[in-house]
Chain A
Amino acid sequence: DQQVKQNSPSLSVQEGRISILNCDYTNSMFDYFLWYKKYPAEGPTFLISISSIKDKNEDGRFTVFLNKSAKHLSLHIVPSQPGDSAVYFCAASAQGGGADGLTFGKGTHLIIQP
């Protein structure tokens, strides 16, 4: 049973426009959410995170929104750049502390078109 779901396997966005990647979760114990970017044959690179006590976190071109009642989060990238083309994973952890493993979604392949 998938606890973290990314229902869009791929997303194509024009350069300069906004990219919106979505993620849903089912486990109410999750209290910390992260987005990672991954290129082929490399490890995931941490992008941005959000605690369940917040509903928004912003870092440069990246903003993550959390809707706890809907168990939904989204990553906004604006403006989108060609280097943003990669697979984006949503991940979640329960009970914080950093000593729990992460549960990942299946990923969304973002393609930025020139």
Chain B
Amino acid sequence: DTEVTQTPKHLVMGMTNKKSLKCEQHMGHRAMYWYKQKAKKPPELMFVYSYEKLSINESVPSRFSPECPNSSLLNLHLHALQPEDSALYLCASSPFSGNEQFFGPGTRLTVL
């Protein structure tokens, strides 16, 4: 299995909802990442997990809460989001000793 999967593909939520994005990889990668991409912009790093521990948080608002239950899974819990949080949320993974990051297809999030 050489891919990163993300669910759901699309998500529409209100500002008072709580939802979660899921990411999974079975390549044995020990680093996993969340990126946010707005239209016509490059992906921007949000969080990095190394060996299931949060190693980088790029000053992301607390309404985004990451979780890494095990080495194959990465979640992003969403609560009280704003319309400006609407974006494509990308998950990626990489071997700890390598540099290539492999991306999932993303979750298109719309906050109403």
Contact = CB atoms under 8 A, between A and B. Distances in A.
A80 B64 CA distance: 41
- The majority secondary structure among interface residues of chain B is strand
A98 B97 contact: yes
Range class of the A interface residue count: 20 to 34
Interface in A86-114: 89, 93, 96-107
Contacts of A43: 4, 6, 90, 92, 103-106
B21 interface: no
Nearest to B43: A104
B33 A101 contact: yes
Contacts of B97: 97-98
Range class of the B interface residue count: 20 to 34
19 contacts: A34-B101, A36-B103, A41-B106, A43-B6, A43-B90, A43-B103, A43-B105, A44-B43, A44-B90, A45-B103, A46-B100, A46-B101, A49-B99, A89-B43, A93-B99, A98-B94, A99-B96, A101-B48, A105-B42
The 9 closest A-B pairs by CB, nearest first: A101-B45, A104-B42, A43-B103, A98-B94, A99-B50, A32-B99, A98-B98, A43-B105, A44-B103
Interface of B: 4, 6, 31, 33, 35, 41-45, 48, 50, 55-56, 58, 88, 90, 92, 94-106, 108
